[in-house]
Structure 1
Amino acid sequence: MKLDSAGLEILSRRQCVTLLVSASIGRIVFTDRALPAVQPVGFVLDGEDIVIRTGIGSKLAAATSDAIVAFEADEFDPAARTGWSVTAVGPARAVREPVEIERLSGLPLRAWTRGGYDHFIVVRAEQITGRRLSPGPDGQGA
């Protein structure tokens, strides 16, 4: 097991993808009017691509089309002092092809809020990194 300078376990790409599959909510980081913005989103993986569904006129849809974005998902148990965090970085694109829209519509991606969600954003995860916090020998986190 490889540890970083803070004592957190460095996860392999494969471990990161497995953890992402287990999550349903993440955060997408994008640029909004030249400033960093973060928005929670529901997502699913399509292979290693991150698929998000949003409204076609949303700020997220406009800001992420053909942009480099970051995506983060995590899970923590404060009582046990355990958890993990995975970050992916890559280009985001709006899905415009009817055949791909139909295929992505079949993925188990449900909306968490009300409103129209007829627009898909796909993030190609070119870089995926992750860390895991595990209990130390004394039962405390690293």
Structure 2
Amino acid sequence: MLRNGDFHALDRRACLRLLGGVPVGRVVYTQQALPAVLPVTFRLDADSSVVLRTAAGSELVRAVDGAVVAFEADEFDALTHSGWSVVVTGRATLVTDPAEHERLARYGPDSWMPVREGVFVRIEPDMVTGRRLTGT
């Protein structure tokens, strides 16, 4: 059972700092009117948006371009019952500007999956929430 004080809400700055330290998160979106979740590699951009790289013709691109999505990342230790979870909610858009695409190709996230004709998806951080659990 949790004692009072073991569960803490995190402010936006703390959430973004934690997100910057992990390479994998989950995109939560709607596919055929049903919720869908997909693990992806990502990187936080300078404006705090979440950027991921995927195949141009993927179902993910068709489902998220222009849609409001959620993005979640976390880190937990099962032995100590401690960890954190952060959720970013915002509109996902394809990066179409050639200069921006080139910059992200050099410094942005790589996909762990083989990607031909890769595109970048940017999720604007309209709402950022997080929780930390301190255990034993």
TM-score, normalised by the number of residues in structure 2: 0.92
Q: What does 1:1-142 align with in structure 2 at a 5 Å threshold?
A: 7-47=6-46, 48-116=48-116, 118-135=118-135, 139=136
Native 8 Å contact 1:53 1:117 kept in 2: no
Structure 1 runs, 4 residues or longer, greater than 3 Å off: none
Structure 1 residues 100-109 or 77-86, which shifts more? 100-109
Which blocks of at least 5 consecutive residues in structure 1 are unaligned? none
Task: Report the number of matched residues.
Answer: 132
TM-score, normalised by the number of residues in structure 1: 0.88
Output the aligned Cα RMSD.
1.5
Which blocks of at least 5 consecutive residues in structure 2 are unaligned? none
Where 1:62 maps in the other structure, the secondary structure is: helix
Deviation, 1:108, is: 4.5
Native 8 Å contact 1:111 1:117 kept in 2: no
Work out the percentage of aligned pairs sharing the same amino acid: 42
Native 8 Å contact 2:81 2:133 kept in 1: yes
Where 1:15 maps in the other structure, the secondary structure is: helix
Where 1:106 maps in the other structure, the secondary structure is: helix
